Amino acid sequence: MEKHRIYELFQEIASQLIIKKPSDHILYVKQCLQHAARSRDAPRIILLCPLDFDGKLLAEYLDLKLGIKAISLQDVDAFNSSEEFASNVRNILRKLYFEESGWLFIDFPRTKSEARALQSVGILPTHVIEITWTDFPIESSASPSQYPSTASSQNSHDNIFHKTLDMRNLQDLRSVYSSVLIQVETAGRTYEELGRACIALARRRKCSTPCYNFRVVLIGPRGSGRRSVAKYLSQKYNLVYIDFDYLLAQTRLQDNAFGITLRCLSRWGIREKSDIKIKIIENKLMGSECLKKGWVLFGYPITVEDFKLLDLLATPPNRIICINVDEATCQERLFSRKFNIYTGSEHNSRRSGEEADVELATHFEDCEIVVNHTLTEYFENVTSLLRYAGESAVLVDGTVSERSVKEKVESCLSRAPSAPPRIRKPKEEIKPEDIEFDPDDPTDFKIYDDLRKPESILSLV
Protein backbone atom coordinates (compact mmCIF):
# COMPACT_ATOMS: atom_id res chain seq x y z
CA MET A 1 0.00 0.00 0.00
CA GLU A 2 2.87 2.38 0.70
CA LYS A 3 4.61 1.47 -2.56
CA HIS A 4 1.56 2.21 -4.72
CA ARG A 5 0.26 5.02 -2.44
CA ILE A 6 -3.13 3.36 -1.98
CA TYR A 7 -3.89 5.15 1.26
CA GLU A 8 -3.04 8.50 -0.32
CA LEU A 9 -5.36 7.70 -3.24
CA PHE A 10 -8.37 6.97 -1.06
CA GLN A 11 -7.60 9.92 1.17
CA GLU A 12 -7.86 12.19 -1.86
CA ILE A 13 -11.06 10.47 -3.05
CA ALA A 14 -12.61 10.96 0.39
CA SER A 15 -11.68 14.64 0.32
CA GLN A 16 -13.28 15.08 -3.09
CA LEU A 17 -16.43 13.27 -1.95
CA ILE A 18 -16.79 15.66 0.98
CA ILE A 19 -16.13 18.73 -1.18
CA LYS A 20 -18.20 17.93 -4.26
CA LYS A 21 -20.98 15.81 -2.64
CA PRO A 22 -22.01 13.93 -5.80
CA SER A 23 -25.50 12.46 -6.06
CA ASP A 24 -24.16 9.04 -7.10
CA HIS A 25 -21.20 8.30 -4.85
CA ILE A 26 -20.39 4.88 -6.33
CA LEU A 27 -20.28 6.18 -9.89
CA TYR A 28 -18.15 9.14 -8.80
CA VAL A 29 -15.62 6.86 -7.04
CA LYS A 30 -15.40 4.66 -10.15
CA GLN A 31 -14.70 7.68 -12.31
CA CYS A 32 -12.12 8.94 -9.81
CA LEU A 33 -10.30 5.61 -9.91
CA GLN A 34 -10.22 5.61 -13.71
CA HIS A 35 -8.98 9.19 -13.76
CA ALA A 36 -6.40 8.53 -11.03
CA ALA A 37 -4.85 5.74 -13.09
CA ARG A 38 -3.95 8.36 -15.72
CA SER A 39 -3.16 11.49 -13.77
CA ARG A 40 -2.51 10.81 -10.09
CA ASP A 41 1.22 11.55 -10.51
CA ALA A 42 0.68 14.85 -12.36
CA PRO A 43 1.94 17.80 -10.28
CA ARG A 44 -0.47 20.58 -9.35
CA ILE A 45 1.62 23.61 -8.38
CA ILE A 46 0.89 27.08 -7.04
CA LEU A 47 3.84 29.44 -7.43
CA LEU A 48 4.10 32.36 -4.99
CA CYS A 49 6.68 34.91 -6.15
CA PRO A 50 7.83 38.28 -4.82
CA LEU A 51 7.13 41.52 -6.68
CA ASP A 52 10.45 41.80 -8.56
CA PHE A 53 10.61 38.15 -9.59
CA ASP A 54 9.62 37.01 -13.07
CA GLY A 55 7.32 34.13 -12.24
CA LYS A 56 6.21 33.69 -15.84
CA LEU A 57 9.78 33.07 -16.99
CA LEU A 58 10.17 30.38 -14.34
CA ALA A 59 6.76 28.96 -15.31
CA GLU A 60 7.91 28.63 -18.94
CA TYR A 61 10.88 26.58 -17.84
CA LEU A 62 8.66 24.32 -15.73
CA ASP A 63 6.21 23.99 -18.63
CA LEU A 64 9.06 22.90 -20.92
CA LYS A 65 10.54 20.36 -18.50
CA LEU A 66 7.43 19.00 -16.74
CA GLY A 67 4.86 19.47 -19.47
CA ILE A 68 2.42 21.32 -17.21
CA LYS A 69 0.43 24.29 -18.51
CA ALA A 70 0.85 27.59 -16.69
CA ILE A 71 -2.27 29.63 -15.92
CA SER A 72 -2.01 33.27 -14.92
CA LEU A 73 -4.55 35.69 -13.58
CA GLN A 74 -4.89 37.19 -17.04
CA ASP A 75 -6.32 33.88 -18.30
CA VAL A 76 -9.19 34.01 -15.81
CA ASP A 77 -12.38 35.76 -16.89
CA ALA A 78 -13.62 38.82 -15.05
CA PHE A 79 -15.12 38.11 -11.66
CA ASN A 80 -16.77 40.03 -8.82
CA SER A 81 -16.37 37.59 -5.92
CA SER A 82 -14.10 34.81 -4.74
CA GLU A 83 -16.77 32.21 -5.53
CA GLU A 84 -17.09 33.47 -9.10
CA PHE A 85 -13.29 33.52 -9.36
CA ALA A 86 -13.03 29.87 -8.29
CA SER A 87 -15.82 28.92 -10.70
CA ASN A 88 -13.98 30.58 -13.61
CA VAL A 89 -10.75 28.75 -12.73
CA ARG A 90 -12.61 25.46 -12.59
CA ASN A 91 -14.12 26.13 -16.02
CA ILE A 92 -10.64 26.71 -17.43
CA LEU A 93 -9.42 23.40 -16.03
CA ARG A 94 -12.45 21.56 -17.40
CA LYS A 95 -12.22 23.20 -20.82
CA LEU A 96 -8.52 22.52 -21.30
CA TYR A 97 -8.52 19.32 -19.20
CA PHE A 98 -5.23 20.12 -17.51
CA GLU A 99 -5.76 17.60 -14.73
CA GLU A 100 -4.13 14.79 -16.70
CA SER A 101 -0.91 16.73 -17.25
CA GLY A 102 -1.08 18.93 -14.17
CA TRP A 103 -1.30 22.68 -13.86
CA LEU A 104 0.66 25.66 -12.56
CA PHE A 105 -0.90 28.82 -11.11
CA ILE A 106 1.49 31.75 -11.38
CA ASP A 107 0.08 34.85 -9.71
CA PHE A 108 -3.01 33.61 -7.90
CA PRO A 109 -4.59 33.00 -5.45
CA ARG A 110 -3.81 36.36 -3.91
CA THR A 111 -5.94 36.29 -0.76
CA LYS A 112 -7.15 33.78 1.78
CA SER A 113 -10.73 34.02 0.47
CA GLU A 114 -9.60 33.10 -3.05
CA ALA A 115 -7.60 30.14 -1.72
CA ARG A 116 -10.56 28.90 0.32
CA ALA A 117 -12.84 29.31 -2.69
CA LEU A 118 -10.51 27.17 -4.80
CA GLN A 119 -10.48 24.52 -2.09
CA SER A 120 -14.27 24.57 -1.86
CA VAL A 121 -14.58 23.52 -5.53
CA GLY A 122 -11.97 20.78 -5.18
CA ILE A 123 -8.93 22.51 -6.70
CA LEU A 124 -6.21 21.23 -4.38
CA PRO A 125 -2.49 21.66 -5.15
CA THR A 126 0.13 19.00 -4.52
CA HIS A 127 2.86 21.65 -4.05
CA VAL A 128 2.83 25.32 -3.12
CA ILE A 129 6.28 26.75 -3.88
CA GLU A 130 7.14 30.12 -2.38
CA ILE A 131 10.14 31.92 -3.91
CA THR A 132 11.87 34.08 -1.30
CA TRP A 133 14.55 36.69 -1.99
CA THR A 134 17.84 36.14 -0.21
CA ASP A 135 19.86 38.42 -2.48
CA PHE A 136 19.44 41.07 -5.13
CA PRO A 137 17.36 40.32 -8.22
CA ILE A 138 19.18 37.94 -10.53
CA GLU A 139 19.40 37.78 -14.27
CA SER A 140 18.81 34.57 -16.14
CA SER A 141 21.92 33.09 -17.72
CA ALA A 142 19.80 31.15 -20.19
CA SER A 143 19.40 32.40 -23.70
CA PRO A 144 15.88 32.86 -25.09
CA SER A 145 16.46 29.97 -27.50
CA GLN A 146 16.67 27.47 -24.67
CA TYR A 147 12.95 27.64 -24.04
CA PRO A 148 9.96 29.34 -25.68
CA SER A 149 10.01 33.10 -25.49
CA THR A 150 6.92 35.09 -24.60
CA ALA A 151 6.10 38.69 -24.00
CA SER A 152 6.88 38.12 -20.35
CA SER A 153 10.51 37.23 -21.10
CA GLN A 154 10.99 40.44 -23.11
CA ASN A 155 9.71 42.61 -20.33
CA SER A 156 10.22 40.59 -17.19
CA HIS A 157 9.07 43.21 -14.74
CA ASP A 158 5.98 44.51 -16.53
CA ASN A 159 2.56 43.40 -15.37
CA ILE A 160 4.02 40.96 -12.83
CA PHE A 161 1.91 40.59 -9.76
CA HIS A 162 -0.02 43.70 -10.63
CA LYS A 163 -1.98 43.07 -7.46
CA THR A 164 0.82 42.30 -5.09
CA LEU A 165 0.76 40.03 -2.08
CA ASP A 166 1.14 42.08 1.04
CA MET A 167 2.53 40.48 4.16
CA ARG A 168 -0.86 39.76 5.66
CA ASN A 169 -2.14 37.94 2.59
CA LEU A 170 1.11 36.01 2.34
CA GLN A 171 0.78 34.81 5.93
CA ASP A 172 -2.84 33.80 5.25
CA LEU A 173 -1.80 31.81 2.18
CA ARG A 174 0.94 30.12 4.18
CA SER A 175 -1.57 29.03 6.79
CA VAL A 176 -4.06 27.76 4.19
CA TYR A 177 -1.44 25.70 2.33
CA SER A 178 0.80 24.86 5.29
CA SER A 179 0.64 21.10 4.62
CA VAL A 180 2.06 21.41 1.07
CA LEU A 181 4.06 24.65 1.35
CA ILE A 182 7.73 24.62 0.30
CA GLN A 183 10.00 27.66 0.47
CA VAL A 184 12.79 28.01 -2.10
CA GLU A 185 15.46 30.68 -1.62
CA THR A 186 17.08 32.39 -4.58
CA ALA A 187 20.55 32.37 -2.96
CA GLY A 188 22.28 33.72 -6.07
CA ARG A 189 20.83 31.05 -8.36
CA THR A 190 19.72 31.68 -11.92
CA TYR A 191 16.23 31.00 -13.18
CA GLU A 192 17.38 27.69 -14.62
CA GLU A 193 18.86 26.60 -11.30
CA LEU A 194 15.69 27.63 -9.50
CA GLY A 195 13.69 25.74 -12.11
CA ARG A 196 15.70 22.58 -11.54
CA ALA A 197 15.19 22.94 -7.79
CA CYS A 198 11.43 23.34 -8.29
CA ILE A 199 11.34 20.31 -10.60
CA ALA A 200 13.11 18.18 -8.00
CA LEU A 201 10.58 19.31 -5.39
CA ALA A 202 7.61 18.75 -7.71
CA ARG A 203 8.66 15.16 -8.32
CA ARG A 204 8.85 14.54 -4.60
CA ARG A 205 5.61 13.96 -2.76
CA LYS A 206 5.01 14.26 0.94
CA CYS A 207 4.10 10.72 1.91
CA SER A 208 0.70 10.38 3.50
CA THR A 209 0.84 7.70 6.16
CA PRO A 210 -2.25 5.92 7.45
CA CYS A 211 -3.87 7.07 10.65
CA TYR A 212 -2.13 4.24 12.41
CA ASN A 213 -0.79 4.50 15.93
CA PHE A 214 1.30 1.98 17.79
CA ARG A 215 -0.58 0.43 20.69
CA VAL A 216 2.05 -1.66 22.40
CA VAL A 217 1.71 -4.06 25.32
CA LEU A 218 4.99 -5.11 26.94
CA ILE A 219 4.73 -8.41 28.78
CA GLY A 220 7.57 -9.10 31.13
CA PRO A 221 8.41 -9.64 34.79
CA ARG A 222 9.84 -7.03 37.06
CA GLY A 223 13.56 -6.83 36.45
CA SER A 224 13.27 -7.66 32.76
CA GLY A 225 13.93 -4.06 31.66
CA ARG A 226 10.35 -3.44 30.55
CA ARG A 227 10.27 0.02 32.13
CA SER A 228 13.42 1.16 30.29
CA VAL A 229 12.11 -0.23 27.00
CA ALA A 230 8.74 1.49 27.49
CA LYS A 231 10.43 4.84 28.16
CA TYR A 232 12.61 4.37 25.09
CA LEU A 233 9.61 3.64 22.83
CA SER A 234 7.68 6.54 24.34
CA GLN A 235 10.46 8.99 23.52
CA LYS A 236 11.33 7.51 20.11
CA TYR A 237 7.78 7.26 18.72
CA ASN A 238 6.06 9.92 20.84
CA LEU A 239 3.82 7.36 22.54
CA VAL A 240 1.95 7.77 25.81
CA TYR A 241 3.87 5.99 28.56
CA ILE A 242 1.55 3.95 30.81
CA ASP A 243 2.71 2.15 33.94
CA PHE A 244 -0.33 0.26 35.19
CA ASP A 245 0.79 0.16 38.82
CA TYR A 246 1.35 3.92 38.81
CA LEU A 247 -1.97 4.47 37.00
CA LEU A 248 -3.74 2.34 39.61
CA ALA A 249 -2.16 4.34 42.44
CA GLN A 250 -3.20 7.61 40.78
CA THR A 251 -6.78 6.42 40.33
CA ARG A 252 -6.91 5.29 43.95
CA LEU A 253 -6.11 8.84 45.11
CA GLN A 254 -8.88 10.47 43.07
CA ASP A 255 -11.69 12.17 44.98
CA ASN A 256 -14.60 10.39 43.34
CA ALA A 257 -16.72 7.29 43.83
CA PHE A 258 -14.30 5.12 41.89
CA GLY A 259 -11.33 6.29 43.94
CA ILE A 260 -13.22 5.73 47.19
CA THR A 261 -14.06 2.18 46.11
CA LEU A 262 -10.42 1.43 45.30
CA ARG A 263 -9.28 2.83 48.66
CA CYS A 264 -11.81 0.65 50.47
CA LEU A 265 -10.59 -2.45 48.64
CA SER A 266 -6.99 -1.56 49.46
CA ARG A 267 -7.85 -0.95 53.12
CA TRP A 268 -9.41 -4.40 53.41
CA GLY A 269 -6.57 -6.04 51.51
CA ILE A 270 -8.78 -7.09 48.59
CA ARG A 271 -7.20 -7.11 45.11
CA GLU A 272 -9.00 -5.42 42.25
CA LYS A 273 -10.88 -7.75 39.95
CA SER A 274 -10.57 -7.75 36.18
CA ASP A 275 -13.74 -5.73 35.61
CA ILE A 276 -12.42 -2.92 37.82
CA LYS A 277 -8.94 -2.92 36.29
CA ILE A 278 -10.29 -2.74 32.75
CA LYS A 279 -12.31 0.37 33.65
CA ILE A 280 -9.11 2.07 34.82
CA ILE A 281 -7.34 1.09 31.60
CA GLU A 282 -10.29 2.08 29.40
CA ASN A 283 -10.52 5.57 30.92
CA LYS A 284 -6.84 6.09 30.09
CA LEU A 285 -6.76 4.52 26.62
CA MET A 286 -9.93 6.27 25.47
CA GLY A 287 -8.45 9.66 26.34
CA SER A 288 -7.69 12.09 23.52
CA GLU A 289 -3.92 11.87 24.04
CA CYS A 290 -3.78 8.06 23.71
CA LEU A 291 -6.13 8.08 20.73
CA LYS A 292 -4.02 10.69 18.97
CA LYS A 293 -0.49 9.49 19.77
CA GLY A 294 -0.77 5.79 20.59
CA TRP A 295 0.54 4.21 23.77
CA VAL A 296 2.91 1.70 25.33
CA LEU A 297 1.61 -0.21 28.35
CA PHE A 298 3.33 -2.53 30.82
CA GLY A 299 2.20 -4.15 34.06
CA TYR A 300 -1.10 -5.17 32.48
CA PRO A 301 -2.64 -7.61 31.54
CA ILE A 302 -1.88 -9.97 34.37
CA THR A 303 -4.25 -12.83 33.55
CA VAL A 304 -5.93 -14.16 30.41
CA GLU A 305 -9.21 -12.65 31.55
CA ASP A 306 -7.52 -9.24 31.67
CA PHE A 307 -6.17 -9.84 28.16
CA LYS A 308 -9.60 -10.73 26.75
CA LEU A 309 -11.18 -7.62 28.23
CA LEU A 310 -8.34 -5.50 26.81
CA ASP A 311 -8.95 -6.96 23.35
CA LEU A 312 -12.62 -6.01 23.53
CA LEU A 313 -11.85 -2.29 23.78
CA ALA A 314 -12.43 -0.02 20.79
CA THR A 315 -8.64 0.39 20.42
CA PRO A 316 -7.06 -2.96 21.31
CA PRO A 317 -3.28 -3.42 21.26
CA ASN A 318 -1.72 -4.05 17.86
CA ARG A 319 1.74 -5.07 19.13
CA ILE A 320 2.33 -7.70 21.81
CA ILE A 321 5.98 -7.98 22.85
CA CYS A 322 7.15 -10.34 25.56
CA ILE A 323 10.57 -9.76 27.14
CA ASN A 324 11.70 -13.23 28.12
CA VAL A 325 13.86 -13.37 31.27
CA ASP A 326 14.15 -16.22 33.76
CA GLU A 327 13.13 -15.77 37.38
CA ALA A 328 16.64 -16.07 38.85
CA THR A 329 17.97 -13.25 36.64
CA CYS A 330 15.06 -11.00 37.63
CA GLN A 331 15.70 -11.65 41.32
CA GLU A 332 19.39 -10.91 40.94
CA ARG A 333 18.67 -7.62 39.18
CA LEU A 334 16.03 -6.49 41.66
CA PHE A 335 17.93 -7.43 44.82
CA SER A 336 21.04 -5.61 43.61
CA ARG A 337 19.13 -2.46 42.67
CA LYS A 338 19.60 0.50 45.03
CA PHE A 339 18.35 4.09 44.97
CA ASN A 340 19.96 7.25 46.24
CA ILE A 341 17.72 8.54 49.03
CA TYR A 342 18.47 12.16 48.11
CA THR A 343 18.55 12.24 44.32
CA GLY A 344 16.49 9.14 43.46
CA SER A 345 19.12 7.89 41.00
CA GLU A 346 19.35 4.15 40.42
CA HIS A 347 22.52 2.14 41.14
CA ASN A 348 23.63 -1.45 40.87
CA SER A 349 25.28 -2.32 44.16
CA ARG A 350 27.05 -5.46 42.95
CA ARG A 351 28.47 -3.84 39.87
CA SER A 352 29.59 -0.57 41.46
CA GLY A 353 30.46 -1.88 44.90
CA GLU A 354 28.47 0.90 46.58
CA GLU A 355 26.31 -1.26 48.83
CA ALA A 356 28.03 0.18 51.89
CA ASP A 357 27.18 3.76 50.95
CA VAL A 358 24.75 5.17 53.50
CA GLU A 359 23.02 7.26 50.83
CA LEU A 360 21.85 4.14 48.95
CA ALA A 361 18.78 2.26 50.09
CA THR A 362 16.45 -0.47 48.84
CA HIS A 363 13.05 0.54 47.53
CA PHE A 364 10.16 -0.99 49.49
CA GLU A 365 8.89 -2.69 46.31
CA ASP A 366 12.28 -4.43 45.94
CA CYS A 367 12.13 -6.20 49.29
CA GLU A 368 12.26 -9.97 49.12
CA ILE A 369 8.62 -10.68 50.01
CA VAL A 370 7.18 -8.29 47.37
CA VAL A 371 9.62 -9.40 44.66
CA ASN A 372 8.95 -13.10 45.19
CA HIS A 373 5.19 -12.55 45.23
CA THR A 374 5.09 -10.52 41.98
CA LEU A 375 7.49 -12.84 40.15
CA THR A 376 5.54 -15.92 41.24
CA GLU A 377 2.29 -14.38 40.04
CA TYR A 378 3.83 -13.44 36.69
CA PHE A 379 5.40 -16.82 35.92
CA GLU A 380 2.18 -18.58 36.89
CA ASN A 381 0.24 -16.62 34.25
CA VAL A 382 2.79 -15.95 31.50
CA THR A 383 2.33 -19.35 29.81
CA SER A 384 -1.43 -18.91 29.51
CA LEU A 385 -0.97 -15.30 28.33
CA LEU A 386 1.37 -16.34 25.53
CA ARG A 387 -0.88 -19.24 24.60
CA TYR A 388 -3.81 -16.85 24.27
CA ALA A 389 -1.77 -14.30 22.30
CA GLY A 390 -0.54 -17.02 19.95
CA GLU A 391 1.38 -15.88 16.89
CA SER A 392 0.53 -12.23 17.51
CA ALA A 393 3.06 -12.13 20.38
CA VAL A 394 6.77 -11.66 19.69
CA LEU A 395 9.36 -13.05 22.12
CA VAL A 396 12.46 -10.97 22.79
CA ASP A 397 15.42 -12.25 24.77
CA GLY A 398 15.85 -9.95 27.76
CA THR A 399 19.12 -11.43 29.07
CA VAL A 400 21.26 -9.62 26.48
CA SER A 401 22.44 -6.02 26.74
CA GLU A 402 19.93 -3.22 27.19
CA ARG A 403 20.80 -1.75 23.79
CA SER A 404 20.18 -5.07 22.03
CA VAL A 405 16.81 -5.48 23.72
CA LYS A 406 15.72 -2.01 22.62
CA GLU A 407 16.83 -2.64 19.04
CA LYS A 408 14.96 -5.95 18.87
CA VAL A 409 11.80 -4.40 20.30
CA GLU A 410 12.05 -1.51 17.86
CA SER A 411 12.38 -3.94 14.96
CA CYS A 412 9.09 -5.53 16.07
CA LEU A 413 7.39 -2.17 15.64
CA SER A 414 8.93 -1.47 12.25
CA ARG A 415 7.48 -4.56 10.57
CA ALA A 416 3.86 -5.53 10.05
CA PRO A 417 2.01 -7.55 12.71
CA SER A 418 2.86 -11.23 12.49
CA ALA A 419 -0.73 -12.44 12.91
CA PRO A 420 -4.32 -11.15 12.71
CA PRO A 421 -6.06 -9.81 15.84
CA ARG A 422 -6.66 -12.38 18.54
CA ILE A 423 -10.34 -11.76 19.17
CA ARG A 424 -13.06 -9.64 17.69
CA LYS A 425 -16.08 -8.08 19.28
CA PRO A 426 -19.01 -10.48 19.45
CA LYS A 427 -21.44 -10.01 16.63
CA GLU A 428 -24.65 -8.31 17.65
CA GLU A 429 -27.78 -10.35 17.27
CA ILE A 430 -29.78 -9.13 14.28
CA LYS A 431 -33.52 -9.05 14.82
CA PRO A 432 -35.77 -9.84 11.85
CA GLU A 433 -37.74 -6.63 12.29
CA ASP A 434 -34.52 -4.59 11.88
CA ILE A 435 -33.70 -6.02 8.44
CA GLU A 436 -34.47 -3.72 5.55
CA PHE A 437 -35.72 -5.38 2.37
CA ASP A 438 -35.25 -3.92 -1.07
CA PRO A 439 -38.19 -4.61 -3.44
CA ASP A 440 -35.73 -5.12 -6.28
CA ASP A 441 -33.89 -7.93 -4.49
CA PRO A 442 -34.63 -11.49 -5.65
CA THR A 443 -37.04 -13.35 -3.44
CA ASP A 444 -35.49 -15.60 -0.81
CA PHE A 445 -37.91 -18.45 -0.29
CA LYS A 446 -36.10 -19.58 2.85
CA ILE A 447 -38.09 -17.01 4.81
CA TYR A 448 -41.17 -19.19 4.39
CA ASP A 449 -39.56 -22.25 5.97
CA ASP A 450 -40.57 -21.16 9.46
CA LEU A 451 -44.06 -20.12 8.38
CA ARG A 452 -45.26 -23.45 6.95
CA LYS A 453 -44.80 -27.04 7.95
CA PRO A 454 -42.16 -28.93 6.01
CA GLU A 455 -43.55 -31.32 3.41
CA SER A 456 -43.31 -34.99 4.20
CA ILE A 457 -40.76 -36.97 2.22
CA LEU A 458 -42.09 -40.29 0.83
CA SER A 459 -39.71 -43.16 0.43
CA LEU A 460 -39.86 -45.04 -2.86
CA VAL A 461 -38.53 -48.25 -1.31
Between CA 108 and CA 105 the distance in angstroms is: 6
CB under 8 Å to 222, separation ≥6 — which residues? 330, 334, 371, 374, 375, 378
3-state secondary structure of 183: strand
CB under 8 Å to 304, separation ≥6 — which residues? 381, 384, 385, 388
Sheet holding 393-397, edge to edge: 240-243, 295-298, 215-219, 319-324, 393-397
Q: Say if CB 310 and CB 281 are below 8 A apart.
A: yes
Rounded to the nearest 10°, the torsion over CA 272, 277, 280, 284 is 150
- Residue type, position 83, single letter: E
Give per-residue burial for 132-157: e unless 16+ CB within 10 Å, then b: eeeeeebebebeeeebeeeebbeebe
Q: How far is CA 200 from the centre of its chain?
A: 26
**Apex CA 203: angle with CA 197 and CA 208, to 5°?**
125
pLDDT in tens, the chain (461 residues): 666 667 777 877 888 788 778 888 888 888 778 776 666 667 788 888 777 777 777 777 777 777 777 788 877 877 788 888 888 888 877 776 554 567 888 878 888 888 888 888 878 787 788 877 665 444 444 443 343 333 343 343 333 333 445 667 777 788 888 777 777 777 677 777 777 877 777 776 655 555 568 899 999 998 898 999 999 999 988 899 999 999 998 988 888 888 888 888 888 878 888 888 999 999 999 988 898 889 999 999 999 999 999 988 888 898 899 999 998 888 888 888 887 777 777 777 766 554 455 677 777 677 888 888 888 989 999 999 999 988 888 999 988 888 999 989 988 887 766 666 676 555 566 666 666 666 666 666 666 666 666 566 555 55
Between CA 97 and CA 99 the distance in angstroms is: 6
Q: What share of the chain is helix, strand, coil (3-state, %, to 5)?
A: 50, 10, 40
SS (H, E, C) 399-444: CCCHHHHHHHHHHHHHCCCCCCCCCCCCCCCCCHHHCCCCCCCCCC
138 bridge partner residues: none
- From residue 248, give the alpha-carbon distance in Å to each of 245, 278, 284: 5, 11, 11
Q: Among 227, 423, 209, 455, which residue's Cα sits nearest to residue 316?
A: 423
Cis check for the bond before 417: say yes or no (omega within 30 of 0): no
Look at the pTM and tell me if it is higher than 0.75. no
